Amino acid sequence: MTITIALSKGRIFEETLPLLAAAGITPLEDPETSRKLILPTNRADVRLIIVRASDVPTYVQYGAADLGVAGKDVLNEHGGTGLYQPLDLNIARCRMMVAVRDDFDYDSAVRQGARLRVATKYVQTAREHFAAKGVHVDLIKLYGSMELAPLVGLSDAIVDLVSSGNTLKANHLKAVEEVSAISSRLIVNQASLKLKRAAIQPMLDAFAGAVGK
């Protein structure tokens, strides 16, 4: 019985490596240099698949992967259908923020009840956030480089992830409101957990031990 784990390249892969090691799993190739999308590991019964960060929940939902690691940002947009989310891995941490141009008075725009144009990749998250605040927004869906939108008049505000804050600063933007704290979770296909419990449960326990829970 093979266990397939879906990961994205970059920070999630890097920060998941020590957790995999705690479960006795070592990838045999580096996704940054390999062109393979299916990576073997030291364990004949465990393989990794490398997918786009926002595609990880989809692979796990349909059982094409048994396990995966995905940010709460991605999970909130996906909705979580068919996924068991047993563990916050506390990795790839950042904050989902509302940001505007340095010279834009966000608080007064909100106070005056202005209708705000908000550009974001996280439409679902943004809709929930502004609805809860009672702020009327027109959402503009983008797929990347949200920071550009307020600079060229596409939007008044963006909803995006911030870690160091350097990207905002370099583009004369400021964060004005936190939407939520973000970290990555372990996700598990619900059917896999039942059918492959003997193989999966020890991995969950090892991950939980490595995370300190």
DSSP states of the chain: --EEEEE-TTHHHHHHHHHHHHTT--BSS-TTT---SEEEBSSTTEEEEE--GGGHHHHHHTTSSSEEEEEHHHHHHH--TTEEEEEE---S-EEEEEEEETT--HHHHHHTTPPEEEEES-HHHHHHHHHHHT--EEEEE-SS-GGGGGGGTS-SEEEEEESSSHHHHHTTEEEEEEEEEE-EEEEEEHHHHHHTHHHHHHHHHHHHHHHT-
Q: Is position 179 an interface residue for ligand PRT (rule: CB under 6 A)?
A: no
Measure CA 139 to chain center.
20
Nearer to ligand PRT, 56 or 200 (CB): 56
Stretch that binds ligand PRT, among 104-112, 162-170, 189-197, 203-211 (CB under 6 A): 162-170
**Rounded CA separation 205/66 (Å):** 16
Tell me the C-alpha distance between 162 and 182, whole Å. Answer: 10
* Site map (CB under 6 A) of ligand PRT, residues 51-80, x = contact: -xxx----------------x-xx------
Residue of the chain from 60, 99, 110, 182 that contacts ligand PRT (CB under 6 A): 182
Pick between residue 29 and residue 55 the one whose CB is nearest to ligand PRT.
55
- Is there binding between residue 50 and ligand PRT (CB under 6 A)? no
One of 114, 140, 154, 162 touching ligand PRT (CB under 6 A): 162
What is the per-residue binding string for ligand PRT in 128-157, x denoting contact by CB under 6 A?
Answer: ----------------x-------------
Residue nearer to ligand PRT on the CB measure, 110 or 118: 118
Total residues binding ligand PRT (CB under 6 A): 23
Min dist CB 7 to ligand PRT, Å, is 10
Site mask, ligand PRT, residues 82-111, x = CB under 6 A?
Answer: ----------x-x-----------------
Angle at Cα 40 formed by Cα 73 and Cα 25, nearest 5°? 70
Q: Which residues bind ligand PRT (CB under 6 A)?
A: 8, 10-12, 52-54, 71, 73-74, 92, 94, 144, 160-167, 182, 184
